[in-house]
Amino acid sequence: MVPDIAGKRFQLLKELLPRLGRVAVLWNVANPYPAIVFKETQAAGQRLGIEVHSLAVRSPDDFDGAYEDARRYHPDALIEIEDPLTNSLHRRIIEFAEAERLPSLHGVREEVEAGGLISYGTSLPDLFRRAAGYVDKILKGARPADLPVQQPTKFELVINLKTAKTLGLQVPDKLLAIADKVIE
């Protein structure tokens, strides 16, 4: 859980879209983690002079209404806050962004591999590797209650150049240089 990731995500979006002024944020209001991240996203947007518009969903049935709201709002970009609901519907989210020619930022690399524009978030392979270490300790007799809670330590930036080209965006060399993966 990394709620303060919003500032870095905005920094990356501003690098890619210098005239960024309005962002729609798709998030699951029924999950406490996206609520924390959305609040931080609002605060980061306010600090940077970026208007943040909520596209709150609770279930798959809410997405069409959220998309209509986004169309009325005319954002410069779409940010998806990752959680099981939005991750499970990532194809639908990417198709919406493509249809609206809307640059999208996601929390996990798999969504950029599926056609999203950019992702910045925790490295899931690193989290899984670290979880395996915990499983090993538990199997060797450690009590789970005695193990410390760990925060993510490895973050990754993934950029899809095919999507950028489709959107008519030129990705700055600075972003390409720091990307962990570039999809061409």
Q: What share of the chain in percent tops pLDDT 90? A: 75
> How many residues can be counted in the chain?
184
Q: What is the pTM of this model?
A: 0.87
> What pLDDT, on a 0 to 100 scale, did the predictor assign at position 2?
62
* pLDDT at residue 4 tops 80: no
* pLDDT at residue 48 tops 60: yes
Q: Which of 29-38, 43-52, 117-126 has the lowest mean pLDDT?
A: 117-126
Average pLDDT, the chain: 92
List, in order, residues 6 or more apart from 155 with CB less than 8 Å away.
2, 5, 8, 120, 121, 122, 123
* pLDDT at residue 1 tops 70: no
Per-residue confidence band for 127, with pLDDT thresholds at 50, 70 and 90: confident
* pLDDT at residue 175 tops 90: yes
Answer for the pair 13, 77: CB distance below 8 angstroms, yes or no. Answer: yes
What is the CATH class of 3-122+154-183? alpha beta
> What pLDDT, on a 0 to 100 scale, did the predictor assign at position 148?
86
* pLDDT at residue 108 tops 70: yes
Q: Residue 96 and residue 115: Cα distance in Å, rounded? A: 11
Answer for the pair 155, 120: CB distance below 8 angstroms, yes or no. Answer: yes
List, in order, residues 6 or more apart from 5 with CB less than 8 Å away.
37, 40, 107, 120, 121, 155
Residue with the larger pLDDT of the pair 2 and 92: 92
Mean pLDDT of 62-82: 97
pLDDT in tens, 98-107: 999 999 999 8
Nearest residue to 44 via CA among 5, 102, 1: 5
